[in-house]
Each structure stands twice: as C-alpha cells, then as structure tokens.
Structure 1
Amino acid sequence: MEQFSGVSKFVKKFSLVFAGIFLFLFIVRLIYSYAVGPETNIVNQEQGSSINFDYGRKNYASEKFYTPQDKAPISASSQKYEKVAAVSSKTSEFDENEKKTRKMVEDVKGVIQYEQRSGLPGKRTLQLGIGVNPDKFDSVVESIQTIGVIDSISVNKTDKTNEYKNITATRISLEKSKAGLLGLKGKNGKIEELISLEKEILEIEGKIQDLGVKLGEFDQENEFCTIKFTLKETGAVSGGFITFLKKCKISLEWTIKYGLLFSFLYTFAAVGGWITWFFGVKILSYLRTKGIL
C-alpha cells in the first residue's frame, strides 16, 4: 500500500507539473497570436491576388528639363516616363476602408481604371488600378499607406522616352510611305496591281492608326501615374468572440504539438539518464567487488 501511495503521489505531482507547463505554453502562444496580429491559419489569404497585377492600361507622364543658363524649358515633353506604385494592405474593416479608398481617389480627382473583386465576406480581396496626376502621385502613395495595415509596397519608374521617339518616327515613316502609294493610285496600271496597291495602303493606314492609339497614351492631356492597390480582408469580421475561439484553437494545437515534443524529449533524456546511472552503479559495484577500485 505504501508503494502504491508513493506512486500515486508521484503521478499527481508529475501531472500538476505537466499541466502547469502546458498551461504556460498555451497562454504564451495565445498572447503571441494577439501581438503579431491576424493569424495566417485563421484566414487563407491565397486568393490568387498579386499586388503587381496587370490590367492592360498604360499611363505615361512627361517631365520638363531646364537649361542651366536661363532655366527655360527645352521641351514640354523632353522625357516620357511610366511610374507605377504597387501597394498591398490587409484589414478587418473591409467595407470602411474601401469607402475611404474611393473617397481618397475622388478627392485627388483620380480615375479608377481597373477594378476586380473576389472572395466571400471574411476573405474578400479588392484590386484597384488607379490613375492619378503626376504631381499628386507621391502624396497619394503616402496617404494610401494609411488604409488598413500595410503589407508590401514597391515604386518603379521607367523611362519611356526612346519608345515614344521610336513610335513617332515609325508613324512619320509610314505616313510618307502612304503618301507615296497614294501618288501611284492616279496612274494607269493593271487591275491586280491597283488592288494590291489598295490593300497595301489599307494595311499602312491600320498600322498608322495603331501607332496613333499608342501615341495617344503619351498625350499630355491624358497624363497619369499608376497606383495598383490591393486590399485584403483578414477575416476578423466574424466577431471578436469567434476570433478569440479561433486563436485559442490555434494556440491549443500549437501547445499540444510542441508540448508532446517537449515531453518526449524530456522522457527520453530522463530514461537515458536513469539507465546510465543504473548501469554506472552496477559497473562500479562490480569493479569494487573484484578489487579493481
């Protein structure tokens, strides 16, 4: 009975110590989940979204240069460039922050050139392609970072001057070719040759129109810089208590996983130590009986 009582006390003490360690780990993990913000396991944000989404529209702007002598502008379009900011934010107040974003675009007289929505309540994603005037670009980028919790941001500026010059030169060359072909239409020739000439003129006209559309993107009246904004919902909209339960679930899973690992390592070390001690005592006792020690 005494041996049974001793074993019972040992089991109780061990259980209390293990429960204390388990509870301590659980509380630490729960506090950590609130400290770092929304759990990635609570809401799967892999909704196929990317802050560098492409929506086809290209915005270009011009920058004036000044001579060092009289500071007079050399040309109103001496440099053409594309400036793109990609901003991604996450929020638990999705509807409110969406309204805030649209109000911001309206206040700076920007243009929402692209919009895509995806996901269900709690896991929604909004992608906006916003065109803003070049002189307001930096201030809008700073302001949009205050919406939700900023996740990532990148700003890229690409020189498009050579591309603009090449398109202009190509269009001028095609117009000259068209003028030369039109001069041939008044001359006599075979029907097949006239038909082929007409087809060639129409083909050149189509290329000129395409280049005209591209040059229209560089028009100073259409000057914009692009902001690609992605707003992701963190899923906390389900309510504070529900979120607390989800965090508890994650903390419990984590504690069980690492608690069992800790227990296994502790048990393995304890058993190994006990075996080492047991055989060590036996060996020493044997050596003493033989007079070796």
Structure 2
Amino acid sequence: MKRLKRLFFWLILIFIVLYIFRLAYGYTKTFDDTTYETAFFENISSSKRNYASKKYKVQSNNVNQTAIKVDQKYEKIAEIKTKSSSFEQEEASSRKTIEQFNALIQFEQKSGNKGYRKLNLVVGVPPENFDSLYNKLIKIGKVQAKQITKKDKTNEYKELNAKKQSLEKIRNSLIDLKSKGGKIEEYMGLENRILEIEQQLQGLGVSLGDFDDENEFCTVQFSLLEGKEVKIGLMQRMKVALEWTVSMYLQIITILFFITLFAYLILLVIDKLQLFERILNKK
C-alpha cells in the first residue's frame, strides 16, 4: 500500500512540474513568432569596413631592453536584433542614442508597411564610445539576439603596407628604366606596366585609408523589427498549458510503461533460462 501511494505521489508530482513549466514558458512568449529575414548586413559587409587601433607597450623579459611599442589594428562588430510594438518611438530613441555618442549612420534600410516595419542600421562609433552605445541600444525594445565580435587585423595591415612599399619600389625602378630610352614597343610596355602598378597602389591606398587614425570606428549593426505584442489571458494560458501537459504526460507514461514491460520480459526470459539451466545440471 505504501509503495502504491508513493507511486501515485510521484506521478502527480511529475504532472504538476510539467504544468508549471509550460505555464511559465508561456509568459516568455510576449511577441508573435513572425520572423523577418534580411540579407542587408551581408550585402554591405564587404563594401565598407571599420577598423580601430590600440596602442600599448609590451614589457620585454630582458631588463636592459626597453618596452616594445605595439600598434594593434582590429575590427570590432556588435550585432543587435531587437523587436518592438512601439516602432516609431523606439526608432526615434535609437537615432537619438546614436547621435548622443557621436556615432555615424553609415548605411540605412527601412522597409515594410505599418505593423511589419523593419529598420536596419550600420553605425560607425568611436572606439571609446562603443561599449556605452551598445549597452544603451540593447535596452531598446525586446532584444532577440546580440553578440560582439572582435578580430585582430594587425597582420593584414602590415601585409598591405609591405605590398605598397614593394609596388612603389617596382614603380620607381620602371620609371628609372623608362628614362634611359629604348624602342617604342618597350617604352609602351613600361608605360602600361607603370599604369597597372599605379592602379594597384590606388586600391591599396583606399584599403589602408580605412586604417587611418582619423577614420577609426567600431561597427554596430542594429536591426529594429516591428512586432505585435501578444495579449493572452490567464485562463487561455492555463488551458493551453493543461492541454500540453496532458499530452506530454501521456507520452511520458506510455514510454515508461513500455520500458518497464520490456525490462520485465527480459528478466522473465533470464529467469526461465536460469531455471532451465538448473534442470539440466540436476540431470
């Protein structure tokens, strides 16, 4: 009798725990499940990149040597996806916040009809204001996703500089060679080669320009989506939670029943085999 009571107690406890879990989970669903997929950030990611630098000293292990100065170049990107039922108010708040921290909206996309609007912003923010702006923006609306990524770009910067210096040496050598005269075909070939190098140097100049101290920015990719807030009454929540709990409870009980039945059959077979073995041993 005690075992039966204990069994009923655990069965009822499992049901109550499942019900409370589902009821609590329902309160986390405050917005509709409509998703707004956008490739905006992917499309513009290669057209403009923001870089920043950090200067610091690394102390050498040798006491006689002075500290080594390091100029690190890095790319820091924050991604924020938030949702709001007060789209216009939250949009105004986000723009005001961006302006407050001396940040610059570099790319913008706004689309959708009322009730389904979306705003995508790529913001360049001074490195010293990055954390403050990020902490303010994640308080706008209801954040769906957020992350910060930081990549070291020091080697890339050094490679660009080395390539630039190499091209400049080649260009100067070709210019010197051109001044010595020669055949028209050779002269034209040198001119074309010099022109190609000049074009490559211009491209490198643009890439290196992104690393200049005066252009230093970190990036914030901010996405504001409009979503209708779900208004669900207590009775409706309790009804949905009860339906889910009954369904899940029956599934769990069914699984436990078949596991128990399978274990019983296995034990029964083992018992029969042992009995059969004992009979054979007696003979």
Q: TM-score, normalised by structure 1?
A: 0.66
SS, match of residue 169 in structure 1: helix
Q: Identity rate of aligned residues, in percent?
A: 38
Pair 209,151 (structure 1): closer, same or farther in 2 beyond 3 Å: same
In the aligned structure 2, how far is the partner of 1:248 from the partner of 1:52?
44
Task: Kindly report which structure 2 residues correspond to 1:28-43, keeping only aligned pairs within 5 A, or say none.
Answer: 35-39=27-31, 42=32
Output the TM-score relative to the length of structure 2.
0.68
1:97 to 90, 107, 111: 90
| AA at the equivalent of 1:46 | Y
Aligned match of 2:38: 48
Residues in 2 aligned to 1:201 and 1:62: alpha-carbon distance in whole angstroms: 33
Deviations 1:232-284 (A, max 9, x none): 11134xxxxxx6599999999x79x979989xx9xxxxxxxxxxxxxxxxxxx
Task: Decide whether aligned partners of structure 1 residues 146 and 207 sit closer, same or farther in structure 2, where only a CA change above 3 A counts.
Answer: same
CA distance in 2, matches of 1:99, 1:247: 33
Equivalent in the alignment of 1:162: 155
Structure 1: distance between partners of 2:147 and 2:41: 9
Instruction: Give the SS at the match of 2:36.
Output: coil
Q: Structure 1 unaligned runs (5+)?
A: 1-27, 237-242, 266-293
How has the CA–CA distance of structure 1 residues 212 and 43 changed in structure 2, closer, same or farther, with 3 Å as cutoff?
same
1:62–1:79 contact (8 Å) kept in structure 2: yes
Once residues 217 and 172 of structure 1 are traced to their aligned partners in structure 2, the CA distance between those partners, rounded to angstroms, is 18
Equivalent residues of 1:124, 1:232 under 8 A apart: yes
Q: Helix, strand or coil: the match of 1:48?
A: coil
**What secondary structure is seen at the aligned counterpart in 1 of 2:146?**
strand
Are the equivalent residues in 2 in contact too, given 1:49–1:125 (CA < 8 A)? no
Q: Which residue number in structure 2 is paired with residue 119 of structure 1?
A: 112
Counterparts of residues 227-238 of structure 1 (less than 5 Å)? 227-236=220-229
Q: Kindly tell me: are residues 112 and 126 of structure 1, through their superposed partners in 2, closer, same or farther at Cα, counting changes over 3 Å?
A: same
1:62 partner amino acid: S
Distance of 1:251 and 1:119 partners within structure 2:
35
Give the counterpart of 2:49 among 42, 55, 58: 58
Kindly report the root-mean-square deviation, in angstroms, between the aligned alpha carbons of the 2 structures.
3.6
Task: Tell me the alpha carbon deviations over residues 120-139 of structure 1, each in whole angstroms, 9 at most, x when there is no partner.
Answer: 11111111101111111111
Q: Which amino acid aligns with 2:201?
A: I
Residue 183 of structure 2: aligned partner: 190
Which one has the largest radius of gyration? 1
Equivalent runs, 1:123-162 vs 2, <5 Å: 123-162=116-155
1-structure distance, mates of 2:84, 2:41: 15
State the Cα distance separating 1:74 from its structure 2 match. 5.1
CA gap 1:235/1:33 in 2 versus in 1, 3 angstroms: farther
- Check if 1:218 corresponds to 2:221: no
SS of 1:86's partner is strand
In structure 2, list runs of 5 or more residues that go unmatched. 1-19, 252-283
Paired residue type of 1:35: Y
Deviation at residue 202 of structure 1 after TM alignment: 0.3
SS at match of 1:206: helix
Q: Distance in 1 between matches of 2:58 and 2:38?
A: 48
CA distance in 2, matches of 1:33, 1:113: 39
Q: Which amino acid aligns with 1:133?
A: P
1:86 partner amino acid: E
Deviations 1:58-81 (A, max 9, x none): 011110112448xx9854x61100
**Cα shift readout 1:75-113 (whole Å, capped 9, x = no counterpart):** 4x6110001111111100111111111111111110001
Contact persistence 1:79–1:161 (CA under 8 A)? yes
